A = this chain, B = another copy of it.
């Protein structure tokens, strides 16, 4: 991958997010080639029809590309793609880059990074903030950490997939940042639901509270989006409650290991646990409202 020459890039994982991200790389015209792989190979056809190459295994993608990106469903899928038969490790040779944009915990990310590095490869973790629409629009927020040289090299790819990327430090830093962000989100939603519940009990229109909040210093897209869901008490899952609660748990564990008390997040976590225990785990995390209101 010499100066001036275009990079050849790979992409593992063509779910809702991954397919959109790979398509943006392809459409940019910045790369010599885009080679895709998915566990269900038929998912590759649309992109191949648009000009991508495909390969039958992660090892084959990595072997034929300078840098390979991955967007896999969860830590297990991320680990399988790397350590499984014909996985990423089988294709890594010195100098190649691997950029895992899946949302995984710090331990998983560290394990993958160490294995890639041990074979002479370079590793960047790059979890994102944002879901389907920002992925399509190339408007994700990318939290990057790991090998700084590789991070700089793939900056043009990050610019295509996201509206902003951050280099946060050595491997693990991006996973930690995502936990911090999601902890704030979980506690903030918990506070919001208490406000909605109190308004209702106090004889105030929840819609008025939403409007007032929307006009002041606290105005934010999340309240605007989730407020109506709470009023309708209907929570189609964008970010499942059980995942929000897991992130609160992991953030609290991080605080524990660092001696940082987090009483507000801890109190919120208990409400999410109550909601999960009441069967709301697969609904959107705004369903924590159901554990906030008093059952008769």
Cα(A269)–Cα(B201), bound, Å? 18
Judge whether B129 and A212 touch: CB under 8 Å: yes
A290 to chain B, nearest CB (A): 11
Distance in angstroms between the alpha carbons of A194 and B181 in the assembled complex:
10
Q: Which residues of B contact A261 (CB under 8 A)?
A: 270-271, 273-274, 277, 292, 294
State the number of copies, please: 4
Answer whether residue A7 sits at the interface, using C-beta atoms and an 8 A cutoff: no
Q: Choose from B225, B256, B259 the contact partner of A249 (Cβ within 8 Å).
A: B256
- Cβ–Cβ < 8 Å partners of A168 in chain B: 204-205, 208
| Complex contact B129–A216 (CB within 8 A) | yes
**CA distance in complex: A256, B197 (Å):** 13
**Contact A263 B260, CB 8 Å, known A173-B204, A255-B198, A278-B294:** no
- For A181, the chain B residues whose CB sits under 8 A away are 195, 209, 212-213, 216, 218
Q: How far is the CA of A187 from the CA of B184 in the complex (A)?
A: 11
Asked if A166 meets B212 with Cβ closer than 8 Å, knowing A177-B199, A191-B184, A191-B187, the reply is: yes
Min CB gap A64→B, angstroms: 34
Q: A115 in the interface, Cβ–Cβ < 8 Å? A: no
Neighbouring B residues of A263 by C-beta, 8 Å: 194, 263, 267-268, 270-271
Q: Whole-angstrom distance between the alpha carbons of A252 and B249 in the complex?
A: 10
A262: chain B residues within 8 A (beta carbon): 194, 197-198, 270, 273
The answer to the question of A251 belonging to the interface, with a C-beta cut-off of 8 Å to chain B, is yes
Contact B264 A271 (CB under 8 A): yes
B294 engages A260 (CB within 8 Å): yes
Residues of the B chain whose Cβ atoms lie less than 8 Å from the Cβ of A267: 263-264, 266-267
The number of residues on chain A lying at the interface, defined by a beta carbon within 8 Å of a beta carbon of chain B, is 78
Contact residues of A between 186 and 238, Cβ < 8 Å to B: 187-188, 190-192, 194-195, 197-199, 201-205, 208-209, 211-213, 215-222, 225
- A132 adjacent to chain B (CB < 8 Å): no
- Please judge, given known A-B contacts A181-B212, A262-B270, A263-B271, whether A176 and B191 are in contact too, CB under 8 Å: no
Please tell me which one of the listed residues B166, B169, B198, B265 contacts residue A180 in the complex, with CB atoms under 8 A apart: B198
How far is B168's CA from A273's CA once the two chains are assembled, in angstroms?
A: 26
State which of B216, B259, B268, B293 has its C-beta within 8 Å of the C-beta of A294: B259
CB distance from A179 to the nearest CB of B (A): 8
A114 to chain B, nearest CB (A): 18
A163 adjacent to chain B (CB < 8 Å): yes
Closest to A194 in B: B262
Most chain B CB atoms below 10 A, which of A180, A201, A205, A273: A180
